[in-house]
Amino acid sequence: MPTIFSNLEYPFETKFTRINNCRMAYVDEGKSDKVILFIHGLGSYIPAWKFNITELKRNFRCIAIDLPGFGKSDKPIHSGKMEYYSKIILSFIENLHLRKVNLVGHSMGGQIAINCALSFPKLFDKLVLIASAGFEKFTKEEIQIIKNLTKPESFLTSDETQIKNNFNMSFFVFPPEANFLIQDRIRFTEDELFYNYCIAISNSIAGMIEQPAFQHLKDIKQKTLIIFGKDDKLIPNKYLHDTTTETIAKEGTKQIPNAKLFLLNHCGHFVQIEKSSETNKLIKDFISDELY
């Protein structure tokens, strides 16, 4: 029994549902006909949304999930493909009998949200893409380079210093209130299913870069809010692409027929934490039809 993952401290009551023999953790806060479903990023989990759900549950029903392989959800070995995650989201929505869901995705969660909107357009009302993956394009050679560098063993051997450095890279200035991200990630290494978690990360990276979303953005029907931190150090990939986050964000936004882009100054990849107040206001106004 994985004791570390299952005993993580979550800011909201944790509930569970079973999808394809996988027990999935989720939280469900607030009461409203307007539903927001939050999809976390690579290697992340429900608590990454705590500063957003705490505020937005006053106006909306806020649901956040732990994807298979992450957080308190089961750790099956899976493909990490975007279609796999999209079908999980579809089954989750069906299990909870949700209708006209507003999807909010961070990083990998943004690319999953894009795939969901394209695959099952009638289920979703609006999209919010926060520091979304899928906008950046990679050549076959670049894809192979990334896959070679992100095998499960690469994450299995990360020490405490590397973990801290990785999270510092995800922020413009690392805020003390985000320290739980580092502490939990260090604790993950003690769990008996930690290797499965590392496989999920590795497979998910391959799933993202092997199925870039850029060429399909033009087919998104939903109104879309896009938020990036101008100082994102992860998008674009600084080792492979000599361009800026702003360029990537603007190029992607232009492809989506009905999209608005907001670039936040002095902000890194974890936009929803580093600029939670600004992010919450943008989401609230967008879902409430005050941005259009």
Q: Is the separation of the CB atoms in 268 and 232 below 8 Å? A: yes
**Residues paired with residue 26 on neighbouring β-strands, in sequence order:** 15, 65
83 CB contacts (<8 Å, ≥6 apart)?
115, 119, 211
Tell me phi and psi for residue 171, to 5 degrees: -130, 155
Q: What are the b/e assignments for 105-141, b being 16+ CB within 10 Å?
A: bbbbbbbbbbbbbbeeeebbbbbbbbbbbbbbbbeee
Write down the pLDDT at residue 126. 98
CA 193 to chain centre: 21
In the DSSP assignment, the letter for residue 164 is H
Write down the pLDDT at residue 130. 98
Taking the whole predicted model, whether its pTM rises above 0.85 is answered as yes
- For 73, the 3-state DSSP assignment is coil
Write down the pLDDT at residue 212. 81
All residue ranges of the chain with pLDDT < 70 are 1-2, 291-292
**Separation between Cα atoms, residue 77 and residue 73, nearest integer Å:** 12
Write down the pLDDT at residue 9. 95
Q: Quick one: which H or E segment has residue 117? A: helix 108-119
3-287 adopts what CATH topology?
Rossmann fold (3.40.50)
